[in-house]
Structure 1
Amino acid sequence: MTSIEPITLTGKFVTLEPLSQEHHDGLVDAARDGDLWKLWYTSVPTPEGMAAEIDRRLDLQAKGSMVPFATRSNATGNLIGMTTYMNIDAVTPRLEIGSTWNAASAHGTGTNPDSKLLLLRHAFETLGCPAVEFRTHWLNQQSRDAIARLGAKQDGVLRNHSRSADGALRDTVVFSILEHEWPAVRNGLEFRLAKYGA
């Protein structure tokens, strides 16, 4: 695999679309749903910073290290957030799923596990990744719990790994799912999604 091309992935609850500036206004509305940029332990762009964040992600895509998506609700047609393939190693191939956020009203509706199912299935079954990684802030317990619920295993903690927007050093928790673990993870996600109904 030499590179990962942008692709549209459609699931039960969400469609992941290749990110573009055309998504700007819808993503601003999604971020305002819960004032998500005010959560100190996450990196959700402010409404004023959304265009720059889209540009940042598209620049990383042009450099081959990221494939960013806008997340659209199949039920409403509205944009509800963003997610990415990031830190792409096309040689192994290996990647991280991250820089994800969803509108507050979408939490607990099945959209996040559906998004993860789409991204993981494409990574393991189409791209042939032997492992997929997840990272989060040590203090973001909600995110850590959600990653563990996927069936990912904690690899370790990178202490004083990076700086948050406010300049504070953060410890980063690293999780991964290996290729041979994917069938069980897939079954778990499909079981969870079935509980949300059609």
Structure 2
Amino acid sequence: QRSLAEITELIHTALLVHRGIVNLNELQSSDGPLKDMQFGNKIAILSGDFLLANACNGLALLQNTKVVELIASALMDLVQGVYHENSTSAKENHITKDIGISTWKKQAFLSHGALLAKSCQAAMELAKHDADVQDVAFRYGKHMAMSHKINSDLQPFIKEKTSDSVAFNLNSAPVVLHQEFLGRDLWIKQIGE
């Protein structure tokens, strides 16, 4: 189980490293030379891939195909979540028709919750617990990840206004919940004010 925790952390770190890639099309002159940014992107890709390769090697050493399947499906969910985030990032601060709590939950699970939920389930599989205990572990991991995501979405609203305060986006949990509470039309009117 400790090895699985280390593998999960490697995958999470690899994902964070890959997310550090800079979109060169949005580069400004104040960001630094283009050549340095290109080099940084290459290093980020290589470093993230190296961490993922080590995680895959560690998974193979566990010699449990169900655990490998669970973690592989978590990786698939993460990729889908990041793809969805990137496809909507251009419009993240624009009002879209698909904003809703069910959409937020799905997106949060794919991009943040799947790895923790399926890792908790895999830990119970390694400990040879039955399907009921594995399901409870899955739900525990899912809810822990969702709680963390909600907390990070809340930060722009509860932190004191400082120079390093983070702007919120219209797809964050507090905004989505507020929209569902008010109703879409009143919410759009309120945003316009």
Which structure would you say has the larger Rg? 2
More helix by share: 2
More strand by share: 1
TM-score of the alignment, normalized to the shorter chain, above 0.5: no
- State the TM-score, normalizing by the size of structure 2: 0.31
